[in-house]
Structure 1
Amino acid sequence: MEQVEKIIDERIQGKALVTENKKENSKKLFIESYGCQMNMNDSEIVAAILDKQGYNTTQVLEEADLVLVNTCSIREKAETTVRKRLQKYNRVKQESNKTMKVGVLGCMAERLKEKFLEEEKIVDLVVGPDAYKDLPNLLEEVNEGRDAVNVILSKEETYGDISPVRLNSNGVSAFVSITRGCDNMCTFCVVPFTRGRERSRDPKSILEEIQSMVDKNFKEITLLGQNVDSFLWFGGGLKKDFKKATEMAQATAVDFAQLLDMCATQFPKTRFRFSTSNPQDMSLDVIHTMAKHKNICKYIHLPVQSGSNAMLKAMNRQHTREEYMELVDNIYKIIPEMALSQDMIVGFCGETEQDHKDTLDLMEYVKYDFGFMFAYSERPGTLAGKKMDDDVPADVKKRRLTEVIDLQQKHALYRTQAHLGKIEEVLIEGTSKKNPNEWKGRNTQNTVIVFPKEHYKLGDFVNVKVEDCTSATLKGTAVGYSDNN
C-alpha cells in the first residue's frame, strides 16, 4: 500500500538520528524515531537540547550512554515495534552496557506513562511531547537513581526558541513546526490527549528559524502542525483562550493566511508547503494567499476521513460532506491546478455499505491526486475506543479498503496524465531510487518527477518537460534552469 508512506514514511522509521559531533562532548546519545514528521522534527529538537548537555549522537547502540526512542500512538504497528526495540535495548543493557539509560519520548510515553516504568522496568525515563526542555533535569533525577516521568502537557510549550538540529535530511527540504497540539476531538484520534491543547508559535520565531534554514541553503520549507489552518498567534497561550485576550491582542492577531503571506513575501526564492489542513478550519484567505505567491506550492493535504455524513458525525468531524464539497469547489475555482490529497478511514464503527458508497462517490467528485487510506483500528484512550463498538468485520474492512485504494489509483493516474506534455518546475531532492543516473524531485503539486541527471545538481530548480507517467510518478527531460535559482 504505497500511498500510506507519504505520512508515515516507512523508510525513516527507526533510523538513528545523526548530527554533527562536537569534540568537547563526551557522552553518547542514540535516538531513533517512529511515526509522523512531527516526531522526526521533535527528535531533532531533543538532539539540540542534549547537545548542550554534552551528548553527541551515535549510530552504535552498544556504545550509547543514553538511548531514547521517540514514539507514535497513531498505529498499533508502531507500538508493537517500539516494545520490541525496548526489549532489544534491555538485552544490550544487561549484557554489555549496564550504565546505559533508556527513555521513551513522545505520544506513546504520554499515553502509557507509569506503565513503562512499573510493569516493564526497562525504562528509566518517560518524557511526553511537551517536556523535552525538562530533559536535563530528568536526566539528573535518573543519574541519582530515581525514575523520571514528565508527561505534563504544557500550555505554552511550542519550542519556538530551540533551533532543531537538521543534518539527517536531504539538505534541500526542511520542516518547521508552527503549532503544537490539537483542539479537534475526533473520536478516532489520540492526538489531543497526547499532544495537548492547541497553541501557536510566535511568527517572529518562525521567520527566524526559516531564515536560519535559508542561510544553510535549504530551498523548501514545510510548515508543520497537527492542524496548520487554525494557527493563531495573539501573544501566546492556548487558542481556546483567544476570546479572553485584550482587544488589542485580538486586533493584531496573526492567522495562518497572514503567516503564509509573511513567509512567502520575506523568502521569495524559497518554496513553501504546509501540512496538515483541517477542512473545518480552512479559510479561503489561505487559498487566495496561495494564488498570490508562485513560491507557495499548489498542493493541500485535506483529510476528509469519510464521505458519509453519518460517519463524519460519529467521528466528530466538524464539517459535513456538502461543506467539504463546497470547499473543494471553491479551491478549484480559485486555483484550477491545485492538487489535493486525502486521509480515508474505512470500516469505522457502524459504517454501512451506503456509508462506504458515499465515500467512493465523494472520491469520484474530488478525484484526489494522492491518498492515505487505512482500515479503522481501535486506539485505546480515544473516545471511539471507550464508547463505540468496532463492529465492522475484518473481511468487510479489507474489501472496502481495497475498493478505496483501487479507485484512488485510478484517480492518481488520471491526475498524473494531466501533466503529460507540460513543462514544470521541479526542485531536485535526490537521486531516483530506481536509477542512479536520474534525479528525482517534486513539482508544485507534490508529484514526484524523475529525469536524467545531466549537469544539474541537488537543490537546483529545473524546468522539466513531462513525457511519460505512472499513477505515482512523472518522467521527463530537463529543458533548462527555472528562474527561481
Structure 2
Amino acid sequence: MLRRNTRLFATFIKLSADRTCCHNAATSPVQPKSKLDIKDGPGLSHFLKDSHRKNKIFPAHADTHAYISTEELKGDGKKVMLTTFGCQMNVNDMELVRGLLLENGYVETKDESEADAVLIMTCSIRDGAEEKIWNRLKHLKRNQRKQRTVAVLGCMAERVKSTLLTTPGNLCQVVAGPDSYRDLPRLLALSRSGTKAMNVQLSFEETYADVTPVRVDASSKTAFVSIMRGCDNMCTYCIVPFTRGRERSRPIDSIIDEVRRLRDEGVKQITLLGQNVNSYRDTSESSISLGVHSKMVDGFSTVYGQKSGGRSFATLLDHVSRVDDEMRIRFTSPHPKDFPNDVIHLIKQRNNICNQIHLPAQSGDDGVLEAMGRGYTRDTYLSLVNHIRNTIPHVSFTSDFIGGFCGEREEAHQNTLSLMRQVEYSYCFVFPYSMREGTRAHRKLVDDVPEEVKSRRHKELTTLFREITLKKNLSRVGTKELVLIEGRAKRGENCMSGRTDGGIVVHIDREEKKIDIGDYVVAKITGATSQSMSGEFVSVSSLREYEHDLN
C-alpha cells in the first residue's frame, strides 16, 4: 500500500495556494486603463519565465518513484466515468484521455454510482462554464455512494490550479492540465492512497501525436482530428493561451495516419481541430527540408513573429483531402489573418473540402477590434470576405461574436450588427462578454458595460443572425442539396438528419426509402427555419456523382 505524510502534503497544498494568491495580487492592475497598450501585460515570453513554471506538479515525479510501484499505476479493471464540458477541442481531449486510460487497464462506465473515478473535462472560457463545473463537483459530493476519486481536467484545471484541491468540502482529489494527460495513471494511483495530486505543467512539445483517440461513438461517420495545440494570438479577452500554452503543431505524417485509419473505419467526414488551424506549421525534423514561407494577408498583423519553415496548413489540407475524395473535410477554428490564397484556391479546387469557412469576427467596430488585439480592422476583414466570395461563389460563412466587450459603446454595437447584415452569415456563435482573470483585458481594461446592456446586446445579435439565417435558408426551398446523413432526427423514427456542404442541418423523411448513417443523399429542400431545413429524399449519391450532375 502507498503511504503518505498527511501533514506534509497539506502544508504543501496550502503553500501552493498561497503562492497562487500572491501571484494574482502581484499581477492585478493598480489602476485599470480604458485603453490597452498591446505591449503591456503578459506576452509569449510569459511562458518562458521559470517563476511561472515551478511548483506545477505535486507530488513530484522523483518523490513518487520512491514509494509507488509500476503495478500500482495500472487500472486493473477499475471503472472510470468520463464527462466533458465545452468545445470540440475538449471532446477530442477526452478521446485522448479515454485512449490513455483504456490502454492502462481502466474500464469506462456510464453509471456514476459504480465509478471508482470520475474525470471531468472542463471549460474556462466564461464564468458560466466554470459555474457548471463547480455545480457538478458539488453534485458528485452529495451523491457519493462509495470511496472514489474525482479529477478535474483541462482548461479550468490549468486556470484555477490548486484552488480546486483546497476548496472546503474535498470536492476533488486530482487536477490535471491539458498537457499532463499522460500523467493521469500516476495521479489516479496517488489519489487511491488518499493523497491529493496535481500536474498543470504546460509543455512546449506535447501534441499527443502518438496517442490513439478513442471516440465515445465508434459507429459515428464523423470525427474530429486535432492538428495542433495552444495558441500564440494573445487576443486580450481570451484565456486560452494561458490554459493551453504556446502553439505547437502535430507532425503531418501522424495526422495523415489518423485520417487513413478513420477512413478505414468508415468515417465520411473529418474536422481538423485547433485554436488557430490555419497557422499550422509542421517543423518536425522530417519537414525541415520542405520549408515554405507564407505571406500574411495584407492589412492583418500579429503579436508574434511571422512563422516560416516546415509544412503549412495548405500543405496539410492538400494531403488530407487526397486520402479519400469521398470524405468531406472541414476545419475549425481559423483566424482571419491566416488565409493566404493557396488555402482559398485549394478549397475551390477540391470537391471534398467543404465550402464552409468559419471566420471569427468578434466585433464589427475598429475601436473594439483594436482593444481585443485582433490584428485587423473592419475594412480588412470585409476585404478578405469579398476576396473569398469572389473566388468561391457559393461559400458559406459562419462566425463568432462577443457582445459588451470593454469600452464597447452603442455605436460600436451597431457597427457589429451592420457587419452581420453585410456578410450574411449562415450561422453565428454569440456570447456576452465575460471577464477572465489573467487575460490582458483583465489586467489593462475596464469591464465597464453593465450586465443588463450586455444581455440586451447579446439578444439583439442573436435575433439578427437568426433573421438572416432564416432568410438564407428559405431561399434554398425548391433547390437540391447533397446531405451527409449523420443520424436519426429527434422528429421521429423515420426522420434522418445530416448537413449540407455549407454546414446547414437538413431533416429528411425517409419513409420507405432506405437511408443509412454515412450515406450521401440528394434532398429537395421543402421548408426551413433559422436553425435547419427540411427535405424530401431524391436519391442516394456520392460527392463524385453529385459534382458530375452539377456540371
* Residue aligned with 1:54, SS: coil
* Residue aligned with 1:323, SS: helix
Match of 1:280 in 2: 337
Q: Is structure 2 residue 281 aligned with structure 1 residue 229?
A: no
Tell me how far apart the structure 2 counterparts of residues 352 and 261 of structure 1 sit (CA, whole Å).
Answer: 43
1:26 to 66, 77, 87: 77
* Residue aligned with 1:404, SS: helix
1:182 to 213, 220, 231: 231
C-alpha displacement of 1:89:
2.2
Stretches of structure 1 lacking an aligned partner (at least 5 in a row): 1-23, 238-244
C-alpha displacement of 1:386:
2.5
Match of 2:205 in 1: 156
State the AA in 2 paired with 1:466: I
* 1:145–1:397 distance in 2 versus 1, CA, 3 Å: closer
Q: Which has the larger radius of gyration?
A: 2
TM-score (norm 2): 0.79
State the AA in 1 paired with 2:355: K
State the AA in 2 paired with 1:108: M
Match of 1:379 in 2: 436
Match of 1:62 in 2: 113
Tell me how far apart the structure 2 counterparts of residues 215 and 259 of structure 1 sit (CA, whole Å).
Answer: 19
Tell me how far apart the structure 2 counterparts of residues 236 and 31 of structure 1 sit (CA, whole Å).
Answer: 35
C-alpha displacement of 1:419:
2.0
Q: Is structure 2 residue 398 aligned with structure 1 residue 398?
A: no
Tell me how far apart the structure 1 counterparts of residues 292 and 195 of structure 2 sit (CA, whole Å).
Answer: 45
Tell me how far apart the structure 2 counterparts of residues 387 and 436 of structure 1 sit (CA, whole Å).
Answer: 54
C-alpha displacement of 1:236:
6.8
> 2:289–2:310: 8 Å Cα contact kept in structure 1?
no
Tell me how far apart the structure 1 counterparts of residues 525 and 183 of structure 2 sit (CA, whole Å).
Answer: 50
> 2:288–2:310: 8 Å Cα contact kept in structure 1?
no
Match of 1:311 in 2: 368
User: How many residues are paired up?
Assistant: 452
Match of 1:258 in 2: 315
Q: Output one character per residue of 1:197-235: Cα deviation in whole Å (capped at 9) or x when no partner.
A: 101111110111111111111111011111111111011
C-alpha displacement of 1:421:
2.2
Q: Is structure 2 residue 157 aligned with structure 1 residue 109?
A: yes
Match of 1:208 in 2: 257
Q: Which moves more between the two structures, 439-448 or 417-426?
A: 417-426
State the AA in 1 paired with 2:459: T
Tell me how far apart the structure 1 counterparts of residues 198 and 354 of structure 2 sit (CA, whole Å).
Answer: 41
C-alpha displacement of 1:140:
3.2
Match of 2:178 in 1: 129
C-alpha displacement of 1:249:
4.9
Match of 2:104 in 1: 53
Match of 2:87 in 1: 36
* 1:248–1:165 distance in 2 versus 1, CA, 3 Å: closer
Tell me how far apart the structure 2 counterparts of residues 246 and 432 of structure 1 sit (CA, whole Å).
Answer: 47
Tell me how far apart the structure 2 counterparts of residues 396 and 463 of structure 1 sit (CA, whole Å).
Answer: 45
Match of 1:19 in 2: none
State the AA in 1 paired with 2:229: R
Match of 1:465 in 2: 524
Q: Which moves more between the two structures, 384-393 or 305-314?
A: 384-393
Match of 1:79 in 2: 130
C-alpha displacement of 1:406:
2.0
Match of 2:539 in 1: 480
> Matches of residues 293-312 of structure 1 in structure 2 within 5 Å?
293-312=350-369
Q: Output one character per residue of 1:32-71: Cα deviation in whole Å (capped at 9) or x when no partner.
A: 0101011111111111101122111111112111111110
C-alpha displacement of 1:467:
2.2
Q: Is structure 2 residue 231 aligned with structure 1 residue 172?
A: no
> Matches of residues 444-463 of structure 1 in structure 2 within 5 Å?
444-453=501-510, 454-463=513-522
> 2:153–2:178: 8 Å Cα contact kept in structure 1?
yes
* Residue aligned with 1:389, SS: coil
* Residue aligned with 1:318, SS: coil
> 1:200–1:236: 8 Å Cα contact kept in structure 2?
no
Q: Is structure 2 residue 403 aligned with structure 1 residue 346?
A: yes
2:471 to 405, 411, 414: 414
> 2:290–2:311: 8 Å Cα contact kept in structure 1?
no
Q: Output one character per residue of 1:295-347: Cα deviation in whole Å (capped at 9) or x when no partner.
A: 11110111100000100000111111111001000110011111101111111
State the AA in 2 paired with 1:428: I
> 1:182–1:195: 8 Å Cα contact kept in structure 2?
yes
Tell me how far apart the structure 2 counterparts of residues 472 and 88 of structure 1 sit (CA, whole Å).
Answer: 33
* 1:278–1:248 distance in 2 versus 1, CA, 3 Å: closer
TM-score (norm 1): 0.89
C-alpha displacement of 1:455:
1.4
State the AA in 2 paired with 1:471: S
C-alpha displacement of 1:281:
1.6
Q: Is structure 2 residue 337 aligned with structure 1 residue 289?
A: no
Stretches of structure 2 lacking an aligned partner (at least 5 in a row): 1-74, 294-308, 545-551
Match of 1:147 in 2: 196
* 1:165–1:262 distance in 2 versus 1, CA, 3 Å: same
Q: Which moves more between the two structures, 164-173 or 320-329?
A: 164-173
Tell me how far apart the structure 1 counterparts of residues 208 and 392 of structure 2 sit (CA, whole Å).
Answer: 34
C-alpha displacement of 1:420:
2.3
Taking every aligned residue pair, what percent have the same amino acid on both sides?
43
Tell me how far apart the structure 2 counterparts of residues 115 and 219 of structure 1 sit (CA, whole Å).
Answer: 43
Match of 1:13 in 2: none
C-alpha displacement of 1:246:
6.6
> 1:199–1:236: 8 Å Cα contact kept in structure 2?
no
Q: Output one character per residue of 1:368-399: Cα deviation in whole Å (capped at 9) or x when no partner.
A: 11011111121222221222111112222222
